[in-house]
Amino acid sequence: MVRKTCCVTGHRDIPADKLGYVEQELRRELAEAVADGYTRFISGFAEGADLMFAALVVEEKERHPELFLEAALPYAGRVKTKDKRFHELLRLCDGVKVESQTYAPSCYMARNRYMVSQSQRVIAVYDGREKGGTLFTMRYAYTLGRDVRVISI
């Protein structure tokens, strides 16, 4: 069975006064994706938008146990973080994809390309900056003709 897949991309440094709004909008986009038949969700498991989205998918899985959460990690050493929330959410994933066994500057870009290539829909938490991983990922998604949903902050 082919699963309709949706991934998230977004900034790690969401301003404190925007966190509630971003969570509300991610929750809305997730509910819409589920209603549209999406069952596989990929998060890059970075701070900020990625982990917030992963937590919302875990919450949604209580109502929809058929949902599949995948962590897409840029490199194996990423799991060495002391972030308890990261480890709690990682344990609740249904799948983990590790892009590279060792760190290289390009591993984040490769992880983002993997997520987009696997997905039909991309949710982007984006603040308008003119460089960085979120912008690159959005541009790549547009070039592949993905359904890109932008949460502007």
Tens of pLDDT, residues 25-78: 999 999 999 999 999 999 999 999 999 999 999 999 999 999 999 999 999 999
The burial class, CB within 10 Å (0-12 / 13-18 / 19+), for 143 is exposed
**Angstrom distance (rounded) from CA 112 to CA 87:** 20
Distance CA 138, CA 131 (A): 11
Whole-number pLDDT of residue 54: 98
DSSP letters of the chain? -PPEEEEEEE-S---GGGHHHHHHHHHHHHHHHHHTTEEEEEE---TTHHHHHHHHHHHHHTT-TT-EEEEEESSGGGGG---HHHHHHHHT-SEEEES-SS--TTHHHHHHHHHHHH-SEEEEEE---SSSHHHHHHHHHHHTT-EEEEEE-
Per-residue confidence (pLDDT) for residue 1, from 0 to 100:
65
Task: For residue 82, give its domain range.
Answer: 4-152
- Count how many domains the chain has: 1
pLDDT in tens, 95-130: 999 999 999 999 999 999 999 999 999 999 999 999
Q: In this structure, are residues 75 and 102 in contact, taking their beta carbons and an 8 Å threshold? A: yes
| Chain centroid, CA 50 distance in Å | 5
- At residue 108, the pLDDT reads 97
Q: What pLDDT shows up at residue 2?
A: 75
Give the CATH number for residue 75: 3.40.50.450
